[in-house]
Structure 1
Amino acid sequence: MTSSRLSLAADARDSILSHAREGAAGDPPAEVCGVLAGDSDARTVTAAHPVSNVAAEPRVAYELDPEETVSILEAIESAGDDAVGFYHSHPESDPVPSATDRERASWPGYVYLICSPDGRMTAHEWTGDEFRELSVAVE
């Protein structure tokens, strides 16, 4: 992946934002997360697959449920698509990588999309050392 742009299908964006708003409406609010599917070479996301957040402190962190994640990754591959990356929400803060996000990022070359319930979102590629911001084009 070399593009500095992420192409995000409108349906995928809507799914991510709906999921983020569900998490933000909880008491207490919680981060939500999932897997982004599409074409990794073109850095295009055509679908977002929600995954349960099993973090000990879901209000301020996310951890993808391992079994659900493996199942979704297998389904994406079986459909002939790629796992482009992951998404999660920040229900009470700006959609930028937090210190926790930086500490836990572990998939170099993959996209990490962060959104807030108000519709703002950012995308970043994890290089293995840092997040490199990508522009997001909704199509």
Structure 2
Amino acid sequence: MIVLPAGIREAILERAREGTPEEICGVLGGAYDPDGRSRVASQYPAANVAENPRTRYEIEPEQQLAIFDRLEDRGEAIVGFYHSHPRGPDRPSETDAARATWPDRSYVIVSLEPLDVGSWRWRTGGDGADASGDRFEREELVVA
């Protein structure tokens, strides 16, 4: 489960609307629990530097490290990441699964068509969708 404050949800939605037709992205900070309830306390917008930002997202590595330093300075953990799908799907894409690298972290996806905000945890190993067992698992998203 991930708990997302209503104000942060609205800020991410607004940014996704303003960023259309390109995907927006960022990092979520707060209290991280790999097996239970993570709580978002902050969001850190990042520039999308993907070669084709209409269909994928990428956070520039130096900017990502700077965000991680800010999180650490504030005593926050990396809860996960967020990005938008301006034209759907309202779930992780094959590209999202191929590029996921943070086990047990949440990946919040904002879909504008259809409008939805959902969250998935990236799980590695075990039974799953591919030979290695790496997969996204839908998680409950509570707006508080």
Give TM-score scaled by structure 1 length. 0.90
Aligned to 2:63: 68
Structure 1 residue corresponding to 2:44, chosen from 49, 71, 75: 49
Question: Which structure is larger by alpha-carbon Rg, 1 or 2?
Answer: 2
Partners of 1:134 and 1:117 in 2: CA distance: 19
Aligned to 1:133: 138
Aligned to 1:123: 119
Cα distance, 1:78 vs structure 2 = 0.7
Partners of 2:141 and 2:104 in 1: CA distance: 16
Cα distance, 1:11 vs structure 2 = 1.6
When the two chains are superposed, the root-mean-square deviation of aligned CA atoms in Å is 1.1
Deviation track 1:21-68 (CA, whole Å, cap 9, x = no partner) reads: 1111xxxx1000000011002401111110000100100000012111
Aligned to 2:30: 38
Partners of 1:51 and 1:108 in 2: CA distance: 20
Instruction: Give the stretch that moved more between structures: 30-39 or 61-70.
Output: 61-70
Deviation track 1:79-105 (CA, whole Å, cap 9, x = no partner) reads: 011110000000011320001001000
Kept in 1: contact 2:82–2:107 (CA 8 A) = yes
Structure 2 residue corresponding to 1:16, chosen from 12, 16, 20: 12
Structure 2 letter corresponding to 1:122:
G
Q: Where do 5+ consecutive residues of structure 1 fail to align?
A: none
Kept in 2: contact 1:11–1:47 (CA 8 A) = no
Partners of 1:22 and 1:6 in 2: CA distance: 25
Aligned to 2:3: 7
Which secondary structure does the structure 1 equivalent of 2:44 belong to? strand
Cα distance, 1:115 vs structure 2 = 0.4
Structure 1 letter corresponding to 2:7:
D
